[in-house]
Amino acid sequence: MEDWQSQVSAAAHQLVTARRVAIFTGAGVSKESGIATFRESDGAWTRYDPRVYATLDGFHRYPEQVWQWYNWRRQEILKAGPNPAHRGLAELETLFPQVVVITQNIDGLHQRAGSTTVLELHGSFQRFRCSADCRGHPTPLPEPPLDLPAPPPCPFCGAPTRPDVVWFGERLPTEVWEQAMEEVLQCDAMLVVGTSGVVEPAASLPRLALQQRALVIEVNPEPTPLTARVPFHLSGPAGTLIPALVAAVRHEQAGAPGS
């Protein structure tokens, strides 16, 4: 079996010819920044019931409890910073004509690392909206202070303010999803980094890229349902492998004719 350096070099050799690169990321990217994942054996859903903390019904039944949990999550995210994987993915914008990040994460670390085009499929911890969507979907509201013990009322209708994140049973934001689909349809390479590949409909995006004959490179410490279908599975932490891949692409570009 090839060592990971050889695999990275081989992946970079093919990636270097890309013009449009889509990057699809999940919780594994931010885990190395100290932000707990949700689905792993030590993830948040092993300690907190997602039926309470990640559904609209749970929010309506336990608004203060859910609100305070998200306040705690906000504090944890604000303490965290981008890791080498986030920074390496942002650096790819200097190497390819067009790069877009499509993320399932809500932490904003891609933007803080310098990525300029980020499509947030599952929303953002920094955005809030009316839980009744009284003025359309969604009704955006100002970011409340972290020390509020209960959700403030919507200034338009009085319904509780909720985080603008996608909970179980909710649809992805239509405009963001359609833009993500369009980016995948047009890309000639996709990096799939730190995602389990089981959360639909987001998990369908790498499959769509494969159908379009794009080069798909997976970066994940563990095999996923996607692994057997991709030409490159780089096994290991994203914080190590993404900077190595960026360096290998730079090396390939430096050796290209006319460089």
Non-local (6+) Cβ contacts of 254 within 8 A are none
First-to-last C-alpha distance (Å) of the chain: 32
Q: Do the Cβ atoms of 144 and 152 come closer than 8 Å?
A: yes
**Is 122 annotated in the active site?**
yes
DSSP annotation of 134: B
Q: Could you say which of 122, 137, 233, 251 is catalytic? A: 122
**Residue 168: what are its φ and ψ, rounded to 5°?**
-55, 135
Number of CB atoms found within 10 A of residue 148's CB: 13
Angle between helices 238-255 and 84-91 (to 10 degrees): 30
Residue 143: CB atoms within 10 A of its CB come to 14
The catalytic residue positions are 122
